[in-house]
Amino acid sequence: MSRAIGPALAGLIIGYWNMAAPFWINAVSNVGVIAALVLWRAPRPELSLPPERFGNAVGVGMRYARKNRHLKATLMHAVGFFLFASAYWALLPLVARDQVGGSPETYGLLLGSIGIGAVGGAFMLRWLKARLGANRLVAAGSAGTALALILFGLAHQPSVAFAASALAGLSWIAVLATLNVSAQVALPEWVRGRGLAAYATIMFGALTLGSLIWGEVASVLSLPAAHYIEAAGALATIPLLWGRKLQSAAGLDLTPSMHWPNPVISENVTRDRGPVMVIVEYRIASGDREAFLATIRRLGSGRKRDGAFRWGLFEDAADPTRWIETFLVDSWLEHLRQHERVTQADRILQEAVHRYQTGGPPKVTHFIGTQ
């Protein structure tokens, strides 16, 4: 709603007063938001471990984003869509002034039309998602954005520009909402803020880079030519990204499982000691070798995602039924955090690995590096 009302109101304010007026009004309006944040007292959760240090927490979040295949698919779609959708946001002032021959009020109304399209699309999202699914909905939104860009290139009358804006808004909300949900369902509670920050960084980075690219293309070629090239690029992302499925983690249970037993130690270990090497010894029947390898490699990806900086699997040259899994963690504290990060989905995968184990549960050993 704010996208529909705000831009149109800003255009009217600029026409009545001057270009600076909406910026001053918007600056003052933020005082209420700042006051609400200052006065807000959020409940503090009880932590069994000390809070993470800022630099380490950022590194953990970046590693998780790299190792989480569900989130990576969302990030790739975000780059593909926002890189080309940035074009009409960046070039719309030129369309309003140079192609349509309008005023600041025209530009505000074009932005308002994008908002109206987004509002209409929001009411249709549930119906569209039920019939198309997440991947087809994003493909349809990308195709709609391409059509809107073509219309912007052809627009020499306000009516065409307004139709393009409404279609762009509808396509924008369809893709944006789907990607937002896809990012959220791929993240467990402990890293959700950092994962969404990575998603937002990719989104705004693609918008920024796209704006620079398409502004340069428009200056070298022409405004319509830039829009046609952008439309072709938006269409090309559909087959290129089709194999990267969205919201594929929606059926996973990412709540903490807390099923790892506490490590057995002979004396108190200071939390900053490390690195820590965890060794898990398996006994696997020869006939289960390939199935075991396929399953444990998925488990290894989870180990690295949750904190391990190195993971390996070794087969005993003298005994083909004996296997050793190893992973390295920065410190004892970071390994204890791994115990809290393991989810119910991880537990199910670990149980699938253990089904191939013979002769009792796997043996787990912890080694701590010496200074």
| Mean of pLDDT values over 150-176 | 94
Is-contact 257 344, C-beta < 8 A? yes
pLDDT of residue 200: 95
The hierarchical CATH code for the domain 276-368 is 3.30.70.100
Phi, psi of 310 (to 5 degrees): -155, 140
Q: And the tokens for 273?
A: 């000691």
For residue 47, pLDDT over 70 is answered with: no
- Tally of CB atoms within 10 A around 259: 13
Give the mean pLDDT of the chain: 91
**pLDDT class of 371 with cuts at 50, 70, 90:** low
Q: And the tokens for 61?
A: 């979040």
Q: And the tokens for 169?
A: 């808004």
For residue 328, pLDDT over 80 is answered with: yes
- Tally of CB atoms within 10 A around 331: 20
Superfamily of segment(s) 2-42+53-240: MFS general substrate transporter like domains (1.20.1250.20)
More confident residue, 344 or 6: 344
Q: Where are the domains of the chain?
A: 2-42+53-240, 276-368
Over residues 64-79, the pLDDT tens digits come to 988 899 999 999 999 9
Which own/partner contact pairs does 350-355 have at CB distance under 8 Å and 24+ positions apart?
A: 350/259, 350/299, 352/295, 353/282, 353/292, 353/295, 353/296, 353/299
